[in-house]
């Protein structure tokens, strides 16, 4: 298990923590508004089958009922970018603030994925 990235972002008095961990043939992505990550929704995504057909990532909601659309968007983007399966553990205690958090979370994820891609290619 290798921690690839640990970042956080402050959004309207809420801190979002994001950690990306490399496993053998896959990744685990933790996103939470708590320092000690909680167990919210768990979503798995597999990468596209190949680049020629431009198929999309496929995601499966394994556990949890909240934040389904946001979890799906995040995990599919990560799996597509990393080209390996990704499990997302997503927990937000501040449920009513979800709409305000979507764009900053996706932006932070994009930043982490781009940085990791650059490191991996060097």
- pLDDT-derived band at 54 (thresholds 50, 70, 90) equals low
Which residue range(s) make up the domain with 112? Answer: 2-121
3-class state of residue 82 by DSSP: helix
> Looking at the predicted structure, is the pLDDT value of residue 35 above 80?
yes
pLDDT tens string 57-72: 666 666 666 667 788 8
Residue 86, domain CATH: 3.30.230.90
Q: Which ranges of 4-97 would DSSP assign to H, the alpha helix?
A: 68-82
pLDDT tens string 74-97: 888 899 889 899 999 988 887 666
Total structural domains within the chain: 1
| Pairing of the two strands 26-32 and 86-91 | parallel
């Amino acid at each position: 298990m290798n921690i690839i990235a640990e970042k956080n972002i402050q959004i309207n008095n809420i801190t979002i923590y994001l950690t990306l961990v490399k496993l053998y043939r896959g990744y685990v992505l933790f996103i939470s508004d708590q320092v000690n990550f909680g167990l919210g929704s768990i979503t798995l995504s597999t990468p596209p089958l190949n680049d020629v057909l431009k198929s999309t990532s496929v995601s499966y909601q394994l556990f949890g009922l909240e934040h389904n659309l946001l979890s799906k968007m995040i995990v599919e983007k990560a799996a597509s970018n990393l080209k390996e399966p990704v499990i997302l553990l997503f927990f937000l205690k501040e449920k009513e603030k979800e709409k305000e958090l979507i764009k900053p979370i996706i932006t932070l994820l994009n930043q982490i994925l781009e940085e990791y891609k650059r490191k991996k290619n060097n």
